[in-house]
Amino acid sequence: MKQLNFNTNIFIGENSLDCLKTYSNERIFIVTDGFLVESKLIDFITDNINDTNTVEIYTDVVPDPVVDNVVGGVEKLDAFKPTLLIAFGGGSAIDAAKAMKLFGIKLGKFEQLTLIVIPTTSGTGSEVTNFSVITNPKENLKHPLVDDLLQPDKAILDTRLVRTVPPHITADTGMDVLTHALEAYVSTEANDFSDALAEKAISLILNYLERAFVNGDDMEAREKVHYASCLAGIAFNQASLGLCHGIAHTIGGKFHMPHGRINAILLPSIIEFNSEKCNVAMAKYADIAQKNSLSTGSGKMAVRQLVNRIKKLRQALDIPSNFVEMGETVESLKPHLDTIGKEAIQDPTTATNPIQPTEEEVIAIIEP
């Protein structure tokens, strides 16, 4: 038996931020990053919060939030005693806010806290998932936390908020979406519901990501990619992810490269590995290639067309095809490979990969 829950109300389209206007006499704690305050994007939020509310803004979140961000945030939450928590930003600000809520409840600082998530990148889908990824710098490791307390109560998708995302971040975060959808699609926990969401997310990314990258003011493309991110998020919230994320979490903890970029580099090799080792995965990748008119064939030939399409997209988005091209040297990567192999197979997201790899197979996928 599998129970499919979905407890986040999603507000989309023009004026979706208006739902913030309904709150009165609340103590609102906003978690965001410094850039979103300096660039005044935060005004989109504060302009919709009426004066009867008391607001505190927490900006100490760093990209790939660390344990200290969460500890510091919980202390601030405890002092402020909020009745409403708003996460505003990319995956980093969102995941920090989600973890603050989780640990605030676990440490008995408060019993419940309504969480509204407003993404400003189109990538992680964190606005609709019960995941939060927190980095422990002492271990150089990113920990995916999974808990129903992390599930946001509301998600607001306002495409105006992603208009300013620069091309390289549009590229990285968009490839994160594609990875979420493809990993959910071939996951051992995939089902017809998650497949429907993943299929739509994949076709939106294949059709619109390059447009959003080339022209950030193309609001149709921006909207499609923003919605794809959310659809993929719901898909992997049900089906979880796979080896690409398992490796990305360990590499991201050590080298601090953008998460989506790591996924983009690994994704073609992961598809090749999974389809060589698992016929069910091969059939599903082939199915995606056919559904997106990438191939009229089946099996290996269709998978090759899918891999080629992803490599072409990656090139069009100016994303390097390996870690050395990204600025790492063979010497800087080599000493970490054994640890990366060990950690990747233990990462919880690897558990639902269609085939469980050995450490040696993980190393072969990433070896420069």
Contacting residues toward ligand NAD, per CB under 6 A: 33, 35, 41, 63-64, 89-93, 95, 120-121, 123-126, 129, 131-133, 142, 161-162, 164-165, 169, 173, 176, 259-260
> Looking at beta carbons only, is 260 or 286 nearer to ligand NAD?
260
> Looking at beta carbons only, is 250 or 295 nearer to ligand NAD?
250
Pairing state between β 131-136 and 141-146 = antiparallel
> Looking at beta carbons only, is 32 or 275 nearer to ligand NAD?
32
Token duo for residue 222: 């921006």
Please tell me the number of Cα atoms within 13 Å of 40 on its side-chain side: 1
> Looking at beta carbons only, is 226 or 304 nearer to ligand NAD?
226
In angstroms, what is the minimal distance from the CB of 8 to ligand NAD? 12
> Looking at beta carbons only, is 164 or 207 nearer to ligand NAD?
164
> Looking at beta carbons only, is 71 or 301 nearer to ligand NAD?
71
In angstroms, what is the minimal distance from the CB of 231 to ligand NAD? 13
Which residue is listed with tokens 């192999």? Answer: 341
**Apex CA 178: angle with CA 174 and CA 181, to 5°?**
135
CA 78 to chain centre: 28
In angstroms, what is the minimal distance from the CB of 98 to ligand NAD? 7
> Looking at beta carbons only, is 116 or 133 nearer to ligand NAD?
133
In angstroms, what is the minimal distance from the CB of 360 to ligand NAD? 26
* Residues β-bridged to residue 131: 146
In angstroms, what is the minimal distance from the CB of 305 to ligand NAD? 27
Token duo for residue 59: 């900006």
In angstroms, what is the minimal distance from the CB of 287 to ligand NAD? 24
Q: Tell me the three state secondary structure of residue 57.
A: strand
In angstroms, what is the minimal distance from the CB of 299 to ligand NAD? 31
- Segment holding 88, helix H or strand E: strand 84-89
**Apex CA 130: angle with CA 129 and CA 133, to 5°?**
95
In angstroms, what is the minimal distance from the CB of 39 to ligand NAD? 7
Other CB atoms within 10 Å distance of the CB of residue 346: 11
> Looking at beta carbons only, is 227 or 286 nearer to ligand NAD?
227
In a 10 Å sphere around its CB, with 0-12 CB exposed, 13-18 middle and 19+ buried, how is residue 283 labelled?
middle
> Looking at beta carbons only, is 92 or 350 nearer to ligand NAD?
92
- DSSP track, 349-363: GGGGSSSPPPHHHHH
d(CA 319, CA 325): 9
In angstroms, what is the minimal distance from the CB of 150 to ligand NAD? 8
146-149: list long-range contacts, CB under 8 Å, 24+ apart.
146/348, 147/102, 148/5, 149/101, 149/102, 149/105, 149/106
